Chains A and B, each alone.
Chain A
Amino acid sequence: MTTPEPTAGTLAQGMSAHRSRSGVPLKGFYGASDARDVDEAPGAFAFTRGRRADPAPVGGWIQRGLSGEGDPTRSNEQFRYLISQGQTGLNFIVDAPTQALLDPDHPLAVNAVGTQGVSLCHKQDFLQLLRDLPLDRITVSTSMTNGLFALTAVYVAARELGFAVDKLRGSVLQLPFYGEDVTYAVHVPFEGRVRMSCDVMEFCAKEMPRFHSFVEDTYFFSESGLNAVEEMALGFVEIRYLVREMLKRGVPIDSFAPRIAIVVNCGMDFFEEVSKLRATRRLFAKMMRDEFGAIDPRSWSVAIASHTSGLSLTAQQPANNIVRGTLQALSLVLGGASAIEISGFDEAFRTPSEDAHRLGLRTQQIIELETGITSVVDPLGGSHYVEALTSAMEGRIMAMIREIEGRGPPGDLIESGWFRNFFEGTIARYWSEIESGQRKVVGVNAHTVPPAEDMLLRDIAETKIRPYRDRIEQVREFKRRRDIGHVREALAHVYTTARGSGNLVMPVVAAFDSEATIGEISGTIRQAYGAPYDAHGMVSPP
């Protein structure tokens, strides 16, 4: 199969005058008879109009940018700077080796240490990364593939730095379904990935009740050219699977559902993105109340954060990306997003620069402080068009969820490569739409200029981050100096826990305390699940 089979979401090919990007047929104008009879207040079920009844006093969403580069010391300086600039939450991204759960001294890491995010390896790194930050006042979100390692890193750091762990706010991603196929493979079998996710959620339900233990990340996989319906349908399939797994463990729905959040993509179809957020809140609320029996209203209203689409940005005429980020952020504010990150305008050709991060933050501050848009909750609520589109999106997302779930256990679909084929199909579709001109992108297939004239903001691309080779030797030195007996003992405990059914969080914390590294602990978990310690066959257990 080279293209996605037609589904509710995939029939559509691009945006035309008569269809939205994900294929909702559009009329020339909308009237009262087109919108469903909505008499719903913001802050009330089904939360279509937002999670809160009143406009928040300031902004109403967490303004942040993705940050982290080099070693923990450099990233810590970056974080402190961003907080001093008014950022109200951190979202740090780790480098490619850390995403893959490999240590900096792994042979494949040699040219990637610290270039696309911060390099993390052991306990001292976590402390260094988060020191001198007001962890009791800011949220610490993590853009790390594996939620177990992200959570334990934050836990260890907060505990050592003297903060009450049960008061911590922040989040970890859980992406056991699609991470392996489209972004950062960690080479732990599916069953093990699901188990790590559920262990984190169960641990947090008891010990870290304010922490979002499950952020469903539909951003990264939808960058493979998915439309908004496909994005949310696949996201919900994963959410529903993990929720059912938690219920099978006997964990009460209302103990963890309030701490599920979703981080979505945001593309260029303005009203569709607004409607996507509204439809997602409604779908989530109905699902939690009617299907999973949640009775706590906090379980019904899901927080939606968003990272604006990197795929929508162009390497051509990069200044245009500032406009794209602004329009996307505006649709997110109008859709009631709880936290927003704007992709760096330079993201199409480099890991975002400091300048691009700052501009993303300033864009949000301008929307918040200068436009008056935030004075009223859900200002588009009641628009005939937006209400009709919201309902159409809801119906299409639900239809696609049913269709995928009807194909059999999602684990089988993952292992058989069904989703990977699906993503390859959406990638091909996306590029053919651009190539054919069906999808117009200014600077790419419309209103292009010769490269020689395309120089504005171009110089920023030449500033590249070189790999932090020094760190490789530092990690080797760290490994030489520790008490290897302690490390082996702690890893053995991780192994036996992983083989059995106990919760992995505290054994992993104990392993970090023994000075074991991310690469060693993850390798041990891989082995417990019958996979090689190192998928690349290059390193051995300590």
Chain B
Amino acid sequence: MNSSTPGAVRVLVGMLGLDQHEVGSLAVAGMLRDAGMEVIYLGRFNTPAAIVRAAIDEDADVIGISTHSWEYIEYLPELMNALSKAHCDAAVVLGGSVITASDRDQLLEMGVAAIFGAGSASQDIVAALRTLGATRRAGLARG
């Protein structure tokens, strides 16, 4: 079921490495689709390189990484570097209840656009992604 509208925010949703707890990832993907976004669902078993490739191929506005393992701690710096090397301007958003307060600061420092932990309301996630999508589109329009 695809209820997205033309010009909808394009969001890549995926997980990194061997993190196999997919419940959160699927729940968020469904929620974003219901909010009218175009979700490209990459699912499990991605490397940072694969995410970057998909983000470019799919012209994603936002890369949403779901995490239920600690692998993000090691993978996020690699992902941010790879994006910057590939001149990919998609915004990176990370979600998962394993992300702690001290990680959050480091991740934002690294250039992660937003972090959603336990208790994030879906309307807040949707609003943040719409803003990030609109910001990227405006940047593209300005060239």
Contacts and interface: CB of A to CB of B under 8 A. Distances in A.
Interface string A89-117: 00000001101101000011111100110
A427 interface: yes
B98 A350 contact: yes
Contacts of A183: 20-21
Contacts of B101: 462
A184 B30 contact: no
Interface in A159-205: 182-185
B49 to A, nearest CB: 10
Given A96-B18, A427-B30, A111 B74 contact: yes
Contacts of A112: 17-19, 69, 71
B100 A108 contact: no
Nearest to A536: B45
Contacts of A2: 1, 30
A465 B97 contact: no
Contacts of A108: 17-18, 45, 47
A110 B17 CA distance: 8
Contact of A115 (B20, B69, B119): B69
A262 to B, nearest CB: 22
B31 interface: yes
B31 A110 contact: no
B123 to A, nearest CB: 9
B127 interface: no
Interface in B53-92: 69-71, 73-75
A315 B18 contact: no
B44 A348 contact: no
B122 interface: yes
B102 interface: yes
Interface in A421-436: 423-424, 427-428, 430-431, 435
A185 B23 contact: no
Contact of A431 (B27, B44, B47, B73): B27
Interface string A1-25: 0100000000000000000000000
Contacts of B119: 315-316, 444, 448, 451
B105 interface: no
Given A108-B18, A224-B23, A349-B97, A465 B70 contact: yes
A442 to B, nearest CB: 12
Pick the most buried of A102, A110, A314, A448: most chain B CB atoms within 10 A of its CB.
Answer: A110
Nearest to A462: B100
B106 to A, nearest CB: 12
A298 B100 CA distance: 49
Contact of B18 (A109, A311, A424): A109
B20 A461 contact: no
B15 to A, nearest CB: 11
Interface in B13-57: 16-23, 26-27, 30-31, 44-45, 47
Interface string A347-377: 0111100000000000000000000000000
B138 interface: no
A166 B99 CA distance: 46
A225 interface: yes
Please report whether the interface of chain A is mostly helix, strand, loop or mixed according to DSSP. loop
B69 A315 contact: no
A314 B119 CA distance: 9
Contacts of A423: 26
B98 A349 contact: yes
A427 B27 contact: yes
Nearest to A461: B100
A461 B4 CA distance: 38
Contact of B73 (A100, A223, A224, A464): A464
A60 interface: no
A428 B97 CA distance: 18
A96 B26 contact: no
A43 interface: no
Interface string A233-262: 000000000000000000000000000000
B97 A96 contact: no
B140 interface: no
Contacts of B69: 96, 112, 115-116
Interface string A441-466: 00010001001000000000110111
A467 interface: yes
Given A185-B20, A424-B30, A111 B100 contact: no
B121 to A, nearest CB: 8
B97 A467 contact: no
B118 A223 contact: no
A428 B18 CA distance: 23
Contacts of A111: 16-17, 70-71, 73-75
Contact of B26 (A184, A351, A427): A427
B28 to A, nearest CB: 9
Interface of B: 1, 16-23, 26-27, 30-31, 44-45, 47, 69-71, 73-75, 97-98, 100-102, 117-119, 121-122
Q: Which 9 A-B pairs have the closest CB atoms?
A: A315-B118, A96-B18, A111-B74, A111-B71, A315-B97, A112-B18, A431-B27, A428-B30, A461-B100
Interface of A: 2, 96-97, 99-100, 102, 107-112, 115-116, 182-185, 223-225, 311, 314-316, 348-351, 423-424, 427-428, 430-431, 435, 444, 448, 451, 461-462, 464-467, 535-536
Given A109-B17, A315-B117, 17 more contacts: A96-B18, A102-B18, A108-B17, A108-B45, A111-B16, A111-B70, A115-B69, A115-B71, A224-B23, A348-B118, A350-B98, A427-B27, A427-B30, A435-B122, A461-B100, A467-B74, A536-B45
14 contacts: A96-B17, A100-B18, A100-B20, A109-B18, A111-B16, A112-B18, A112-B71, A185-B44, A225-B23, A423-B26, A427-B27, A435-B122, A462-B100, A464-B73
